A and B are shown apart, each in its own frame.
Chain A
Amino acid sequence: EAGVAQSPRYKIIEKRQSVAFWCNPISGHATLYWYQQILGQGPKLLIQFQNNGVVDDSQLPKDRFSAERLKGVDSTLKIQPAKLEDSAVYLCASSLREGVHYGYTFGSGTRLTVV
């Protein structure tokens, strides 16, 4: 089966600009996650979707970050306006359903540099 697809691989923007990342989960996976990994740290959950509904967005900086999964398949994560501290790798993962966790398959990630 195809893995989790993410694009773009790299993005460089100036602070205060906006940026969007795209993720297409493994086919049939109802649950989708966006993680932020800052250099030297472990991944931190930003938002979890179950189909097209948000399950957990408690760590999403909602003043600047937004995410959607309108049709319950692919998802977009947006940052507007970007800050220097948003420089990180943004990882997407998916799982068959919400519930017991058996480990993630991550996408290749999008490396964001804010200058």
Chain B
Amino acid sequence: QKEVEQNSGPLSVPEGAIASLNCTYSDRGSQSFFWYRQYSGKSPELIMSIYSNGDKEDGRFTAQLNKASQYVSLLIRDSQPSDSATYLCAVAGGSYIPTFGRGTSLIVHP
């Protein structure tokens, strides 16, 4: 059974701070890693994908992948109240079908 673990939170950070969201996975053969943002009552929206070890930056978002430690994280710099949402980690292996974590709730307070 492939597992993707996330702390359900909520993670509360002040506006302007860095939010750090973490995810671990069980399948060592995993190849593709994704972060989705889900606002309350909305469907998940893809915000980042990463396929190799290291960091990948896109605007205020940085995804970090460490395959040896089976760990992927998402950093959000200069957090804004509009970033308040649930962030879902998804991991895909050889079958290419991603397994989703249960998500971490992020609250950015003014």
The residue in chain A whose Cβ has the minimal distance to the Cβ of B49 is: A103
From A42, A101, A105, A107, give the contact of B101 (CB < 8 A). A42
Which parts of A66-108 form the interface with B (CB within 8 Å)?
Answer: 89, 91, 98-108
CA distance A102 to B31 in the complex (A): 11
Q: Decide: B88 and A101 in contact? CB cutoff 8 A.
A: no
Residues of chain A lying within 8 A (CB to CB) of residue B97: 33, 45, 48, 56, 101
Q: Does A44 contact B (CB under 8 A)?
A: yes
Given A48-B97, A101-B32, A101-B96, is A42 in contact with B4 using a C-beta cutoff of 8 Å?
yes
Residues of chain B lying within 8 A (CB to CB) of residue A91: 43-44
Count, chain A residues at interface, CB 8 A: 23
Q: How far is the CB of A103 from chain B (nearest CB, A)?
A: 4
**Which A residues are closer than 8 A to B by beta carbons?**
33, 40-45, 48, 56, 89, 91, 98-109
Residues of chain B lying within 8 A (CB to CB) of residue A89: 43
Given A42-B4, A42-B88, A42-B103, is A101 in contact with B43 using a C-beta cutoff of 8 Å?
no
Q: How far is the CB of B67 from chain A (nearest CB, A)?
A: 17
A-B CB contact pairs (8 Å), 6 listed: A33-B97, A100-B32, A101-B96, A102-B32, A106-B45, A108-B43
Q: Decide: B8 and A103 in contact? CB cutoff 8 A.
A: no
Q: Decide: B49 and A106 in contact? CB cutoff 8 A.
A: no
- B4, B34, B44, B100 interface centre (most CB from chain A within 10 Å): B44
Residues of chain A lying within 8 A (CB to CB) of residue B96: 98-101
CA distance A103 to B99 in the complex (A): 12
